[in-house]
Amino acid sequence: MAAPKRQALGRGLSALLKETENVNSAKDQNAEKLVGAIAEIETDLIVENPYQPRTNFDPEAIEELSISIRELGVIQPITVRKMTEGKFQIISGERRFRASKLAGLKSIPAYIRLADDQSMLEMALVENIQREELDAIEIALSYQRLIEECDLTQEAMSERVGKKRSTVTNYLRLLKLQPIIQAGLRDKMISMGHARAIVNVEDADDQLEIYEQTIAKELSVRQVEEAVRRLKEKSQKSTDTSAKSNPLPEKYGEIRDVLSQHFDTQVALNRSSRGKGKIVIPFKNDSDFERILDLLTP
């Protein structure tokens, strides 16, 4: 189901730079206006990071992401560092940047960082989270940035923002939703309750099917929770039946355990009686995906 195209995130770069033209450090006047802000930056002004640890980008995955971006826009802004001569260097989000260029975007929403703004960024993000007008995905992205860019644990972050750790976890789990569902939550097509139920579904296609049914049939949160429960029961029965008819040989079980340890995630290995099967390596978010890719890349 196609969703309406979203308006671009962030304020125009020209307006922001007029106020922060001479800001290059967190110590400079007006630095607080730049740190933590989202600006719509022209792709021609963005340069790739020469120290990017990943050198191989799957063209098919980039193409799939570009299709999503054409339809929904950039759900999660990239992060850039302000440089001289009006240029910006990518800190994180190179896949999104490449996919955006492939999608034909002339600009992309980005968080702007300065060379020494770590403590200021943390304060800006915490203050930003306290704003009442933020939607659930914006809050989740702010939590994610505090963890990844400010090197905070979920426990430390919950203390900073004055929220229970379980609340923080529930918001972060929303980032596991498919992009179209995240956009639907931001556009109030579904509620936080609906989203929290749908995120319990791991399969992307099943997520989208329940999301579409929720909108088409105007399902309540209770009804969505029931649909998710039935789906998981059906899936569990199918798994149990398959496991009984085609038990995994011991040596494959050992291989699965080695892979799980290597990738630091619960790898699934399925094999039929004819030897056909698949290996599934789950990931939590974009950063976790890139971590796994680094392990896969020689």
Catalytic positions: 94
β-bridge partners, 38: 111
Element (H, E) at 115: none
Element (H, E) at 173: helix 165-173
- The angle, 0 to 180 degrees and rounded to 10, between the axes of the packed helices 136-149 and 118-129 is 160
Asked if residues 231 and 210 have their Cβ atoms less than 8 Å apart, the reply is yes
231: exposed, middle or buried (Cβ count in 10 Å: 0-12, 13-18, 19+): middle
234 φ/ψ angles, rounded to the nearest 5 degrees:
-65, -45
Q: Which residue has the tokens 């097509």?
A: 189
Question: What order do you get walking across the sheet with 46-47 strand by strand?
Answer: 11-12, 38-42, 107-113, 78-82, 88-92, 46-47
- The angle, 0 to 180 degrees and rounded to 10, between the axes of the packed helices 59-72 and 179-186 is 20
Spell out a b/e string for 136-145, using b for 16 or more CB atoms within 10 Å of the CB, else e: bbbbbbbbbb
β-bridge partners, 279: 269
In three-state form (DSSP H/G/I as H, E/B as E, the rest C), the secondary structure along 142-155 is: HHHHHHHHCCCCHH
- Structure tokens given for 38: 């989202």
Q: Which residue has the tokens 């094999």?
A: 271
